[in-house]
Amino acid sequence: MTDKFYIKGGTPLKGEVKIGGAKNSVLKLMAAALLAKGKTKIHNVPDLTDVEIMLNVIAELGAKTSYDKSEKSVTIDATDITDITAKYELVSKMRASFIVLGALVSRCKEAIVALPGGCAIGERRVDFHIRGLEALGAKIKIENGYVHAKANRLAGTDIYLDIPSVGATENLMLAAVLAEGSTRIQNAAQEPEIVDLANFLNSMGADINGAGTSEIVINGVKQSDLHPIEYTTIPDRIEAGTFMTAIIATRGKGIIRNVFPAHLTFFTDKLLKMGANIKLIEPNSLEVSCKNRLNSINFITQPYPGFPTDLQSMAMTLLTTANGVGIITESLYENRFMQVPELRRMGADIHQDRNHAIIKGVKKLTGTTLAASDLRAGASLVVAALMAEGNSVIENLHHIDRGYENFETKLRLLGGRIERKDDTLPANLTEDTHNESYL
């Protein structure tokens, strides 16, 4: 795609925005739907390229799929699974599709799944997935870029994860649902998306306890115990955090609707310490505002319930114009500071030393042409452009489209001056991105 965002900064965002369904949850629920024969319907599904990719992966396995974008619902009829291969052409585009490995091994006792792709934010190995499946009784071969897993039977066991990997926890939960006996996953991921997956599976007839804690117990059930369901996905906490950041960055005031505040406790606490105003006005609505220059803070990204790595780049954008010096330590991914060179081009004062970033606040950022390197870095550049003085162009929107539904439309509803246009400059525009006739 050659689309670009054209943004004129400096306008405070004001109004209301409604958060969509959680990308990082719905993709896993779609894979989990493969476990039950019949039609499962999932509501609150965002219109994202990642959702389209997962639908294609599932359809190629033989399930019948449909996506009602007006209703924001997906229907998956997994009565028949006719293929056990998830091909490279699709899996390489989106890492989350690797989750079909656990579902296929669970239901079909065999799976051939390409090694995953996704954003280039650092090494995200699948060792924990493989070792866990082997502990459950699967025989694994990795050759020609594919994981081939086969099991005559899966038997429950104790599995300890060296790190609380979200993907490994999800894959092993799916694999253990139909295993004989009980499986205990220790040092499991505790993210809200894990809880959503467990709730989904339990509604389907699975027996899972402890999701949201470091120890999850899955008591195996029979295939005949599982049935199709209707289920509504949780709101996207990362999208909510992104819009909170955008409102604060532009010194605006807005209401975030359809959010689970408890999912953002740590992030919200950091924003409050920086000087933002955040109030709970309804059980699922937050009022967010900021009048004055923010203060710098230090933080370390950590697995949930710590500071989310997916919001690190957004927080860095805030720190670029805050009072004082802030230090960010990225403990999860080695390449998650890919927004740093672009922020520097806007005038940010950032020193990077491996997984540490030292940000000295400047008075303002100035607009320029920027390139999104991955999903969350791209979103942070949009926020930076909205708060900057002057005009910006943001390229490589395909990264942003993976995780934000109608991003520019929602920002415009808040008063943001942002347009999506193709690669041809509008007639009233010169190559100078500081032209006042920009938008």
**168 shares its domain with 299:** no
Residue 8: what pLDDT?
98
Whether 198 is covered by a domain: the verdict is: yes
Among 17, 61, 119, 377, the one annotated catalytic: 119
Q: How many CB atoms lie within 10 A of CB 409?
A: 11
> Of the candidates 60, 106, 61, 87, which has an alpha carbon nearest to the alpha carbon of residue 145?
87
pLDDT at 1: 54
Judge whether 299 lies within some domain.
Answer: yes
pLDDT of residue 439: 60
- φ, ψ dihedrals at 355, nearest 5°: -95, 15
Q: In this structure, are 305 and 287 located in the same domain? A: yes
pLDDT value for 121: 34
pLDDT of residue 335: 76
Residues 72, 155 within the same domain: yes
Task: Report whether the peptide linkage leading into residue 303 is cis, meaning its omega lies within 30 degrees of zero.
Answer: no
Look up the domain containing 145 and give its range. 23-232
Q: Is residue 438 part of a domain?
A: no
77 and 158 share one domain:
yes
Which of residues 192, 207, 232 is at a domain's end?
232
CATH of the domain at 51: 3.65.10.10
Q: What is the pLDDT of residue 182?
A: 98
Same domain? For 218 and 191 the reply is: yes
Low-confidence ranges of the chain (pLDDT < 70): 1, 117-125, 424-439
119 is known as an active-site residue: yes
The verdict on 184 and 295 lying in the same domain is no
> 427 lies in a domain?
no
Whether residue 150 is found in the same domain as residue 239: no
**Pair (275, 174) in one structural domain:** no
Q: Which of 186, 202, 232 is the last residue of a domain?
A: 232
Q: Is residue 228 part of a domain?
A: yes
For position 433, what pLDDT does the model report?
Answer: 42
In sequence order, which residues have a C-beta less than 8 Å from that of residue 71 and are 6 or more positions away? Answer: 43
Nearest to 185 by CA among 209, 159, 210: 159
- 217 lies in a domain? yes
Strand 207-209 relative to strand 215-219, pairing: antiparallel
Are both 207 and 293 inside the same structural domain?
no
For residues 13 and 35, membership in a common domain is answered with no
Ramachandran sector of residue 410 (left: φ over 0; alpha: ψ -120 to 50; beta: rest)? alpha
- Is 348 a domain residue? yes
Q: Is 47 among the domain residues?
A: yes
The structure tokens listed for 356 are: 């540490």
pLDDT of the residue at 425: 53
> What's the total number of domains in the chain?
2
pLDDT at res. 333: 72
If asked whether residues 110 and 158 sit together in one domain, one would say yes
- 244 shares a domain with 217: no
Domain boundary among 232, 265, 285: 232
